[in-house]
């Protein structure tokens, strides 16, 4: 089994940038679009947008739908995804079965 670890929302976004660009989940789609547009717009709100993106990343278990998980599994079969922030694993997407919260 392969393991892919994401240390922040930017790494996660870059790996699935085009795969998740047409999500039907409005909250996920808004988050995805915000990440994609972080370097656009007013620099005065950049820090706030970064904080919002990180907050959504930390709640990824609530944003991911089965369609996202299935797409992850199709892209990299037999792979466990470890989702971390500041070295703390908060979500695992195993090759099969439900996602797991925490380490």
Tell me the mean pLDDT in the region 2-30: 95
If one counts the domains in the chain, the total is 1
Using alpha carbons, select from 23, 12, 98, 4 the residue that is nearest to residue 60: 12
Distance CA 50, CA 42 (A): 13
What residue numbers bound the domain in which 36 lies?
Answer: 2-101
24 token code pair = 């039907």
Does the pTM exceed 0.85?
yes
How far apart, in whole angstroms, are the C-alpha atoms of residue 76 and residue 3? 10
Round the average pLDDT of the chain to a whole number and report it.
94
pLDDT, tens digit (0-9, with 9 covering 90-100), for 35-69: 999 988 888 899 999 999 999 999 999 999 999 99
| Per-residue pLDDT band at 103 (split at 50, 70, 90) | low
93/2 Cα distance (integer angstroms): 12
Cα–Cα distance measured from residue 22 to residue 99, given in angstroms and rounded to the nearest whole number: 21
């Amino acid at each position: 089994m392969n393991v892919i670890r994401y240390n922040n929302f930017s790494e996660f976004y870059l790996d699935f940038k085009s795969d998740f660009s047409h999500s039907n989940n409005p909250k996920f789609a808004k988050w995805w679009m915000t990440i994609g547009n972080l370097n656009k717009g007013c620099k005065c709100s950049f820090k706030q947008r970064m904080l919002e993106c990180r907050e959504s990343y930390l709640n990824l278990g609530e944003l991911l739908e089965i369609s996202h998980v299935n797409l992850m599994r199709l892209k990299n079969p037999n792979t466990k995804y470890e989702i971390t922030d500041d070295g703390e694993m908060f979500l695992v997407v195993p090759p099969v079965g439900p996602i797991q919260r925490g380490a």
